[in-house]
Amino acid sequence: MPQPTDYWHRLEGKVAIVTGAGSQGDGVGTGKAMAYLFAREGARVCLVDQEPERAQITLAMIAEAGAEAFVHAADVTQPQACADVVAATVERYGRLDVLVNNVGLGAGGGRLAELSPALWDRVLDVNLKSALLMSRAAMPRLVAARGNVVNIASSAGLRAHGGAAYGPSKAALIALSRELAVMYGRDGVRANTVAPGHLFTPLVEKFIDEAGRRRRRLVAPLGIEGDAWDVAAAALFLASDEARFITGVCLPVDGGVNEIAALAALEMPDGA
């Protein structure tokens, strides 16, 4: 979808943390899009990234739009780093309403012989453990604000994609969201998941050609690719008060890929 141009202050007065908020170059990935959209919708945002120079690109985009954010460098697979992120955010803005666990590692594909125990551990650390640690650090503040958690998983967590580590890590992240929703629902805290499908982002652009992009369009009922702004719009809705009666859900943002049988997808006409 095009970058939004109209904003409705849906997060006015809120404070958000977005992990993996950095950008690879001038393109727009999911972390950058979510952080920017949240800020334009009125939130003050902590931009978390292990490589702060990437988050500075996001910060510049937000500042140019007249919105407010700051950069905090952190390795969110480490408990103390997660605690420091929350402390820095609360010290600066006085509260915390939304935690977006977006940081992820797209590795761990292929067969078992190609997956080392070290790589398995790394994928689970980045894609799952980081969300657990950030949620644990943030929860007292989210309870105080009756806030919410938005976890960014993947369609690989819903259907097998041929990878022994990545898919299971994202499936576990979806399960973690459900558990958080149940554990903290009586405290007024919501927890939901966005599961992106076939997106065209700066990261994807590096390893896919036009033929690959066409194949991805062909298996989607809508016949199009998504992008980072589609994910940002979904996350914004779940983070906003408009979703006050929604918790524990996994929202696929995938053009319908997860709702169509393989043979039906194969037989669909080429709409590209």
CA 95 to chain centre: 21
Percentage of residues in the chain having pLDDT higher than 90: 78
Q: Give the tens place of pLDDT for each residue, 228-254.
A: 999 999 999 999 999 999 999 999 999
Q: In the predicted model, what is the mean pLDDT of residues 92-105?
A: 97
pTM of the model: 0.94
Q: Taking the CA atoms of 85, 87, 89 and 91 in sequence, report the sign of the dihedral they define.
A: negative
Instruction: Please check whether residue 6 lies inside any domain of the structure.
Output: no
* Torsion angle in degrees (nearest 10) through CA of 165, 169, 170, 175: 140
Please report where in the chains the tokens 């992008």 appear, as a residue.
227
Q: Could you give the number of structural domains in the chain?
A: 1
Q: Could you tell me if residue 147 is inside a domain?
A: yes
Mean pLDDT of the region 59-85: 98
Instruction: Please confirm, yes or no, whether 166 is among the known catalytic residues.
Output: yes
Kindly state whether residue 268 falls inside one of the protein's structural domains: no
Q: Would you say residue 7 lies in a domain?
A: no
Across all residues in the chain, what is the average pLDDT? 93
- The answer as to whether 43 is a domain residue is yes
What pLDDT was estimated at residue 202? 77
The pLDDT of residue 25: 67
Inter-residue contact 23 to 36 (CB < 8 Å) = no
> Which of the pair, 262 or 20, is modelled with greater confidence?
20
Residue 210 domain flag: no
Whether residue 175 lies inside any domain: the answer is yes
What CATH number did the domain enclosing 23 receive? Answer: 3.40.50.720
User: How far is residue 231's CA from residue 64's CA, in Å, rounded to a whole number?
Assistant: 22
Q: Which two tokens stand for residue 13?
A: 């007065």
Q: 11-62 pLDDT, tens per residue? A: 999 999 999 999 876 789 999 999 999 999 999 999 999 999 999 999 999 9
Taking residues 131-149, what's their average pLDDT?
98
> Cα separation of 53 and 107, whole Å?
23
CB 252 within 8 A of CB 221: no
Place of tokens 């298996």: 219
Q: What is the pLDDT of residue 210?
A: 86
Residues 6+ apart with CB under 8 A from 48: 17, 18, 19, 20, 21, 55, 72, 73, 74, 76, 85, 103
- How many whole angstroms separate alpha carbon 238 and alpha carbon 232? 10
Query: Would the pLDDT of 89 be above 90?
Result: yes
The single residue listed with the structure tokens 């779940």 is 238
- By residue range, what is the domain housing residue 119? 15-200+226-259
Contact 18, 96 (CB under 8 A): no
Asked whether residue 111 is domain-assigned, the answer is yes
Q: Among 14-28, 71-85, 116-130, where is mean pLDDT lowest?
A: 14-28
Residue 261: predicted pLDDT? 81
Of the given ranges (20-24, 67-71, 192-196, 268-272), which has the lowest mean pLDDT?
268-272
Of the listed 7, 36, 93, 166, which one is catalytic? Answer: 166
114: which DSSP letter?
G
Chain center to CA of 138: 16
pLDDT value of position 271: 58
Residue 221, both tokens: 């009922």
